[in-house]
Amino acid sequence: MSEVKIQNKTKGEKVVLAYSGGLDTTAIIPWLKETFGYEVICCCVDVGQGKELDGLSERAKLSGASKLYIEDVTDDFCENYMMPCIQANAVYENKYLLGTSMARPVIAKKLVEVARKEGAKAICHGATGKGNDQIRFELSIKALAPDLDIIAPWRMTDVWTFQSREDEYNYVKSKGIPLEFDAENSYSRDCNIMHLSHEGLELEDPAAAPNYDHVLLLSVTPEKAPDQETDVCIDWEEGVPVALNGKKMSVKEILLALNKLGGENGIGIIDIVENRVVGMKSRGVYETPGGTILMEAHRQLEELILDRQTMEFKSFVATKFAECVYEGKWYDPLREALEAFVTSTQKYVTGQTKLKLYKGNIIKNGTTSPYSLYNESLASFTTGDLYDHHDASGFITLFGLPEKVRAMKLLEVKNKTLEK
């Protein structure tokens, strides 16, 4: 829906705001009320933000919200959004594990549920007109509730007059709304149980090194990690982690524990310049300690179990899966079809992965599976019952036949040319 149509709405209609308690969404509450006369219902979807939820109720009330929902979807997020990405080995541009991207569709789903419950006419988000999140939120909302209006203040430049975070900060302070940060010392952050992203300040200059002492909240740098290894053992059933170091746990519990262990050992810190969907490059520092460990452990197990052709095709699927998630197309038929393929490959991804964490490194420490295709008799240098060395001669002849025929033809042409 267009912003023009939204401006013509009557006063008193309900709008559900995707509320984080941060600067952008805190400023949007009084702005929506003053500009359009909306009744603002805040919905904070808990995907593992932790301490970010502290004080939200008071801040939302002081900002003018009529109601605040805090909806915990952490288990749903871990099991039905994060795990499909890990099972797919979905990584965007070889580095980004999609921590923010994978959270947007589950947040959008809950926003739609609250909007339906409250009889709201629109959903509002605080994503800027330059970022990816506007796409992710809006594509998900359109897929789930095409009849709802979408309000994106940062794109409404005729009525949204703020030009910077400092403008927002001053506006919020003028309303007497308490904030736990100031405009000059505030990275733009997104946090969930999977990861924590940081953008802004010195990170806007790719020539500047990150001030890691100032940036990092979940982790220490590898240099500051302990001078000793940390052992980790993960049990898997059909591509899902079910136990950590011998203790049965839910996916959420395992990720929380790995976040702590990974953070202490400097695991999963990346400094990335990525290509946004809207066409520009952006630079950020991401912390993904537990997710990085799970992704590597899962790959380690698949190495033993999946055959060559499946692994080859799955690597292509991983790239497309990551693109779909990054571009906000979670509820797109292609992503759903790709997940169906990935799920079929996980039937036998069962076993145990052992790792050592050491100063930013994840070191393989042994992998076992009842479905392992690794056959010691075949792989060893001794001759086993299943392999006859003489068979390799015929195989190589046939496998290399195209190359040999081509070389013979080139030699024939060359000789004819020399004869002339």
User: Cβ–Cβ contacts within 10 Å for residue 255, how many?
Assistant: 28
Q: Is the dihedral of CA 321, 323, 326, 331 positive or negative?
A: negative
**CB-based burial, 152-168: b 16+ in 10 Å, e otherwise:** bbbebeeebebeebeeb
Distance between CA atoms of 303 and 350, rounded to whole angstroms? 12
**Token reading at 163:** 């030009």
- The ranges assigned to domains in the chain are 3-187, 195-306+349-368
Helix (H, G, I), strand (E, B) or coil at 376: helix
Nearest to 52 by CA among 181, 185, 210: 181
**Which residues are catalytically annotated?**
24, 104, 133, 188
Amino acid identity at 29:
I
**Token reading at 148:** 């709802």
Distance between CA atoms of 111 and 24, rounded to whole angstroms? 17
Helical spans, DSSP H, in 216-349: 251-264, 289-305, 308-326, 333-345
Report CA Rg, the chain: 26
pLDDT at 381: 59
Q: Tell me which fold the domain 195-306+349-368 belongs to.
A: Argininosuccinate synthetase, chain A, domain 2 (3.90.1260)
Distance between CA atoms of 104 and 134, rounded to whole angstroms? 10
Which residues are within 8 A (CB) of 141 and not within 5 positions of it... i.e. 6 or more apart?
A: 108, 111, 112, 123, 148, 150
One fold for both 3-187 and 195-306+349-368?
Answer: no
Amino acid identity at 221:
T
Superfamily per CATH, domain 3-187: HUPs (3.40.50.620)
Distance between CA atoms of 2 and 7, rounded to whole angstroms? 9
User: Cβ–Cβ contacts within 10 Å for residue 333, how many?
Assistant: 8
pLDDT at 75: 98
CB 221 within 8 A of CB 269: yes
Record the pTM.
Answer: 0.91
Could you give the angle at the alpha carbon of 195 between the alpha carbons of 190 and 201, nearest 5°?
45
CB 100 within 8 A of CB 11: no
Helix (H) or strand (E) run with residue 282 in it: strand 281-287
CB 172 within 8 A of CB 27: yes
**Token reading at 5:** 């149509």
pLDDT at 389: 82
Per DSSP, the chain holds a count of helices (H) and strands (E) of 16, 14
pLDDT at 5: 45
**Token reading at 278:** 């809207």
Q: How far is CA 359 from CA 208, 213, 367, 400, in A?
A: 23, 16, 21, 45
pLDDT at 2: 38
DSSP string over 126-179: ---TTSSHHHHHHHHHHHH-TTSEEE-GGG-TTT----SHHHHHHHHHHTT---
Mean pLDDT by runs of 10 across the 420 residues of the chain is: 44 93 92 96 96 87 96 98 98 98 98 98 95 97 98 96 89 86 72 96 96 96 98 98 98 98 98 97 98 98 98 98 98 98 98 98 98 78 70 92 94 89
Helix (H) or strand (E) run with residue 224 in it: none
